[in-house]
Amino acid sequence: MKSVHSNKKFIVSILFFAWVTLAFGQASYSKIISLAPSVTQSLYYLDAQDKLVGCTSYCTAAKNDHKPVVASAVKANIEKIVSLKPDLVIASGLTSPKDLELLRKMGIKVEVFASPRSFQEICEQFILLGKWVGAEHRAKKTVSESQQKIQQIARRISRLNKPKMFFQIGANPLFTVIPNTFMNDYMTLLGGGNIAKGLTQGAVTREFVVAKNPDYIFIVTMGIVGDEEMKTWKRYTNLKAVRDNHVYIIDSEIACQPTPITFVQTIETMNKLMTGD
């Protein structure tokens, strides 16, 4: 009788575990394909790169480890992904929905990380990724440290007026950071105001920037194009940012990567350029 009772308890435990797995998803994944450079970078920050079995050609964090390349920024190689037998594919909003649907039809679990709209959403995604790779504690610790660093910078900022900022992320057409994006938080957390406030589309003209007359201009690196943009803006000598020599280039490899660590690095860089601290 005791053996029968033990068997029943064992069966109940197995059934309960199966229900939890179905209800809440697999606790930890061991073979992950990342279709987003920021996800790849985050896996390295979580010391979970051993779980990465495939990535995009833009995932610079994984290049030295020679991880298999299975996609460009927008197009996935379905055949190659399937051959690697991943138990999870994490995509960005740039990945073709048709490709993702095809992967799901083949029985592969797919999760999509939409572009975060704030630093808070960056942290939430990072913690969720930490859970998926069995590194939740490390993820929460990283987030906590990142939040503390930003709070320390914010406490040092003492400005009576919000400096107006223009954050350029494209040259042809001219493109700017708009509200409800994580990059807008770079400006607001530094006590500044985005000259694109109120816009819902990022395309602007130079006349728009001149009319807004920003105190600071930050240009995301675009190789030679970025250098040319700086030279172009410096010809607008009536701009306050130009007169005060406040036109700067920011590294796209850091500023455009929505992870807690790179977000803090960008804030620290911008603050140093603005204050000299």
Tens digit of each residue's pLDDT (9 = 90 or more) over 61-74: 999 999 999 998 78
Boundary residue ending a domain (103, 137, 171): 137
Q: With 0.95 as the threshold, say if the pTM is over it.
A: no
Tokens standing for residue 138: 């490390």
Alpha helix positions (H), 75-223: 78-83, 97-105, 119-132, 136-156, 184-189, 206-212
In contact, 148 and 185? CB cutoff 8 Å: no
- Return the percent helix, strand and coil in the chain, to nearest 5: 50, 15, 35
Same domain, 161 and 255: yes
* Cα gap 50→47, rounded to integer Å: 8
Per the structure, the complete domain to which residue 112 belongs is given by 32-137
pLDDT one-digit tens code per residue, 113-147: 999 999 999 999 999 999 999 999 999 999 999 99
Specify whether 121 is located in the same domain as 185. no
Amino acid at 251: D
Alpha-carbon distance of 126 to 36, in angstroms, equals: 13
For residue 160, the model assigns a pLDDT of 57
Whether 205 contacts 174, CB under 8 Å: yes
- Residue 266 CA to residue 255 CA, distance in Å, equals 6
What mean pLDDT comes out for the span 261-267? 97
Same structural domain, 120 and 199: no
Residues 200 and 253 grouped into a single domain: yes
Full DSSP string of 241-264: HHHTT-EEEE-HHHHT--SHHHHH
pLDDT over 70 percentage in the chain: 89
Do residues 209 and 242 touch, judged by C-beta distance below 8 A?
no
Per-residue pLDDT of 187-229, as tens digits, reads 999 999 999 999 999 999 999 999 999 999 999 987 778 889 9
Q: Is residue 1 part of a domain?
A: no
- Residue 2 covered by a domain: no
